Amino acid sequence: MIKKKIVLAYSGGLDTSVIVKWLQEKNFEVITFTADIGQGDEIKIAKERALKLNVKNIFIKNLKNEFIKNYVFPYLRSSFMYENFYLLGTAIARPLISKELMKISYYTNANYVAHGATGKGNDQIRFELGFKYFNSNIKIIAPWRIWELNSRNKLLDFCIKNNIKINKKTKKYSIDKNLFHNSYEGGNLDNLLFEAEENMWENTLSNEISIDFPIYLSITFKNGDPIKINNKFYNKENLFLKLNKIGSICGIGRIDIIENRYIGIKSRGCYESPGATLIMFTRKHLESFVLDKEIFFLKESLSIKYTNLIYNGYWWSPERILIQNIIDNIQKYLNGIIKIKIYKSNISIVSRYSYNSLYDKKNSSFDEISKKFDQIDSQGFININSLRLII
């Protein structure tokens, strides 16, 4: 019997390793794809496990630079966060993984694709919207929605039965890692009365053990993107790595939130985004004095729509691209240097500079006289604007 080809988004973890064997038992020739977007040693482990599972075609692609350049930076230009807290570190990675996986399905003539996302989460939607965008006829298999292995213990029993070598000391949480962030879900975190354990956090230090002196740091922006740290040029990937390291030792970028999943469920997620938090903070302060008031408010009015589109999996939608074009058009004003002080999870502004600055000391100061602004004019301004309140 001829085996059907299927490309699996493969992480090398328990779930996707079981999926490989499960699909093989269903007469599929499994082709694995692992996107290297900054998971570190997990990439090597994924390859080793795929080989042990007798996978003949193993695709691993270094996508770190493309991830930062074409996904992370365009998103950060918006200065938006989902529901005011979440920096979208998982959501922003899924479009890239989907695109590259579909390239492999085309290259290998595979008519099927698969992923390891559960039927309760957002990732199933993000992956599958991407798959369908690139090939509307692709056949998708989502094992978590159809198989009988619907618990951790059943997965472990399946591993024992099929001699799948997985570390018996399984992780307490569902963890997602990339250059942008770490995320932690499930396990004890499902209990809202449970405080996240300190040893859960892998990429930031707590205030108790973070460094005991402040770090002064300047970030230089050109056309909206950070290009220098302390006046030293970095390429996009190394700049992110450097800011992650600095933010990590200062306890920057931890959040523990309840979020609204697209599918309608509220969930608890813990996230670490040290570098992204530093970029977002400094960008917002740069925007505050270089953007015209009405442009700023117009951009902010798009924030909920834009972040919802990315969170819900609509990166490739025409409306997301339209909003992105508006955001990108504004970036020509975003040139300058923001200096900050970082200490014990806190970030404070030290200084601001931009040759695009709209701040005028004479207009703002109570101690200086401005030729452009006559305080007498304020009376007429108030009279006109009060009309609708008194008529």
**78 assigned ligand-binding residue:** no
Residues belonging to the active site: 15, 94, 123, 174
**91 assigned ligand-binding residue:** no
**275 assigned ligand-binding residue:** no
* Tokens (6 digits) for 332: 């020509």
Q: Are 291 and 333 in contact (CB under 8 A)?
A: yes
**336 assigned ligand-binding residue:** no
**17 assigned ligand-binding residue:** yes
The Cα-based distances of 234 to 221, 227, 340, 351 in angstroms read 12, 6, 18, 21
**186 assigned ligand-binding residue:** no
**12 assigned ligand-binding residue:** yes
Amino acid letter for position 156: L
**16 assigned ligand-binding residue:** yes
B/e letters for 18-47, b = 16+ CB within 10 Å, e = fewer, are bbbbbbbeeebbbbbbbbbbbbeebbebbb
**14 assigned ligand-binding residue:** yes
**15 assigned ligand-binding residue:** yes
**122 assigned ligand-binding residue:** yes
Q: Are 361 and 352 in contact (CB under 8 A)?
A: no
**351 assigned ligand-binding residue:** no
Of 105, 95, 45, 140, which Cα lies nearest the Cα of 311?
Answer: 95
HSE at residue 251, side-chain half, CA atoms within 13 A, is 15
**66 assigned ligand-binding residue:** no
d(CA 33, CA 21) in angstroms, rounded, equals 15
Q: Can you say which residues are annotated as belonging to the binding site for ATP? A: 9-17, 35, 116
**Residues in the annotated binding site for L-citrulline:** 86, 122, 126, 174, 183, 259, 271
Binding site residue list? 9-17, 35, 86, 116, 118, 122-123, 126, 174, 183, 259, 271
